[in-house]
């Protein structure tokens, strides 16, 4: 299975992905932001670095899926191009593509984002609000996406498992 965990920053995508791979031996937590951070001086050209990180992610996912293991991609995606690319990859290798959108209120998302200790993914509050709005605008265009409303980590993970 190729599992996309989409959602705004701070909603818990990375935490839920880590929990999933912890409970599913050899599943891969393929965090594109972490891949991008491995590219030398990526901040000098974040757009190119982002494209390259997505290319690396697709190649890694293809290899891992072909080996018979799940891949989880925790990533904020408000445009459909990369979502569709992941779906095409799943089809290419003959696995299920599951698109999950983790949602919480804008206020809760902002609070959780401010409380997190990972400052490497800094986003200003106005941009965070805009990202949340862009994702909400995407939801009605994704009829096969499964929406999971977040709570505690345990609640969110249980809700994820219930829809899979």
Q: Tell me the pLDDT tens digit for each residue of 76-126.
A: 999 999 999 999 999 999 999 999 999 998 888 778 777 766 654 556 778
Residue 42 pLDDT exceeds 80: yes
User: How far apart, in whole angstroms, are the C-alpha atoms of residue 20 and residue 33?
Assistant: 18
Residue 74 pLDDT exceeds 90: yes
Question: Domains along the chain?
Answer: 2-163 (3.40.50.300)
User: How far apart, in whole angstroms, are the C-alpha atoms of residue 154 and residue 133?
Assistant: 26
Percent of the chain with pLDDT over 70: 95
Q: Where are the alpha helices (DSSP H) in 24-124?
A: 32-37, 46-66, 80-93, 106-115
| Residue 53 and residue 39 in contact, taking contact as beta carbons nearer than 8 Å | yes
| Residue 89 and residue 61 in contact, taking contact as beta carbons nearer than 8 Å | yes
pTM equals: 0.92
- pLDDT at position 121 is 55
The larger pLDDT score, comparing residue 105 to residue 47, is at 47
- pLDDT at position 126 is 80
- pLDDT at position 10 is 86
């Amino acid at each position: 299975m190729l599992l996309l965990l989409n959602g705004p920053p701070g909603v818990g995508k990375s935490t839920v992905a880590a929990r999933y791979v912890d409970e599913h031996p050899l599943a891969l937590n393929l965090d594109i932001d972490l891949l991008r951070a491995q590219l030398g001086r990526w901040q000098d050209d974040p757009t190119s670095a982002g494209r390259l990180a997505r290319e690396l992610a697709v190649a890694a996912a293809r290899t891992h899926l072909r080996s018979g293991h799940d891949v989880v991609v925790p990533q904020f995606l408000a445009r459909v191009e990369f979502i569709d690319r992941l779906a095409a990859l799943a089809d290419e290798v003959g696995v299920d593509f599951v698109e999950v959108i983790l949602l919480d209120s804008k206020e809760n998302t902002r609070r959780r984002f401010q409380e997190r200790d990972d400052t490497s993914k800094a986003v200003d509050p106005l941009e965070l609000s805009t990202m949340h709005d862009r994702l909400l605008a995407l939801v009605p265009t994704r009829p096969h996406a499964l929406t999971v409303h977040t709570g505690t980590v345990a609640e969110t993970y249980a809700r994820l498992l219930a829809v899979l």
